[in-house]
Amino acid sequence: MSSTFSQPHQTTADYQDRISQQAFEQLVSVRGEGDEWDFKATLGDITSTSVRVNLAKDALAFCNLPGGGTIIAGVTDDYDHVGLADSERIDTTIIRRAIEKYIDGDFIVVAAEHTLAAPGTSEAKRYGMIHFRRRFAQPVLAALDGQITNDRQPLFRSGDILIRRGAASIRANSGDVRRLFTNSIVHEERVRAVNELWKCLVEQRRLMGGVEFLYDVLTDTEYPEAITRPSLRDALGHLTSGRHADDVDRLQLRVSLVRPHIPEMLHQQYRACAAFVGRLHMKAIRQRDAGVFAPWTELDNGSPDLPLRQLALELIPQDELNSYWTGRATDLGTHRPVRPVIDAAERGVLSGIHLVLNGLG
């Protein structure tokens, strides 16, 4: 149950797909630059002030895009694939240290090197890929003047908000600033809403108490012991069906209060997962009160619980669900744990939550 009691959050691992080989090959095949990507023949000497300030300028602008932006090093402005010089290395830590003093706001940078052979040749060249993104909804600002030499105007001023417009990193105008802060407020409301949704899902799963445990440790031939052995029966808890309904209603009310800020697809995923867990728990309560303990895949009359299966299929691929549904034969009987099923269902919800946290949902 690794995902159950943790708070969803963002890490640099969430952005590794932005610098994957697949993402690189897609971008490097494009002829043209846009808001979200930029080609550079080289990053240059990262220890020089000029390179650091120019890189910080692009990073500031890319960070203020909803999905961040990416630099491809080793491709010229004319789209010639020249590759990196032998001495040039693309390193996440070095790049971050080179620019972080210029950026006011928490940001993420991830970088990678890739190799690619030109069509019709066997010579592979190295390229760099650097992705910048702000961690939170608020725009990032310039923390210092982007001063290269005293006899030249700085590329940006302390407090500036930079954005991308076409292939250029420029200072935001008043309309751009209003849009950025409006979007950040909307995003913050969504983040608070999805965190509340996740908390409610976690609390509903906690209501199940030891029901998961019993399915995890017992085979079907041992199910009667869940009723006859006091230590196991205690794991079923003492929650009544009425109290369970009241607790679930309370959680549903909390979700309804933030519903306007939750994307429709995520809300549907949450409803399917909550209904799946709720149906499992109510069935266990009824069986406990009736003095029986049966497979979670069955109705009280022993027939397959098809409504439960349908709820699971909204979140879990059929092949994966089939393996959980069938269980595993052992010397003692069929082992059919329910914990992996709920974990898989929650992963479906978490994928939607991560899209919202990443500004894509």
Q: Is the pLDDT of residue 14 over 70?
A: no
Mean pLDDT for 251-279 is 92
Task: List the structure tokens of 323.
Answer: 């393996």
Distance in angstroms (rounded) separating the CA atoms of residues 304 and 309: 9
Q: Looking at per-residue confidence, does 107 or 361 come out higher? A: 107
Mean pLDDT for 344-349 is 88
Question: 241 — alpha (psi -120 to 50), left (phi > 0) or beta?
Answer: alpha
Helix (H/G/I), strand (E/B), else coil: 356: helix
Residues near 255 by Cβ (< 8 Å), separated by ≥ 6? Answer: 196, 197, 200, 262, 270
Q: Is the pLDDT of residue 306 over 90?
A: yes
pLDDT in tens, 163-189: 999 889 999 988 888 888 877 777 788
Q: Residue 45, Cα to own-chain centre: how many angstroms? A: 34
Distance in angstroms (rounded) separating the CA atoms of residues 202 and 243: 18
pLDDT of residue 3: 35
Q: Is the pLDDT of residue 320 over 50?
A: yes
Per-residue DSSP letter, 20? S
The band of 2, judged by pLDDT with boundaries at 50, 70 and 90, is very low
- Output helix, strand, coil percentages for the chain, rounded to the nearest 5: 50, 15, 35
Q: For residue 15, how many C-alpha atoms fall within 13 Å in the half-sphere facing its CB?
A: 26
Predicted structure pTM score: 0.59
Q: H helices within 64-134, ranges in order? A: 92-99
pLDDT in tens, 114-156: 999 877 777 899 999 999 998 887 889 999 999 999 889 999 9
pLDDT above 90: percentage of residues in the chain: 58
pLDDT in tens, 30-61: 888 778 999 999 999 999 999 999 999 999 99
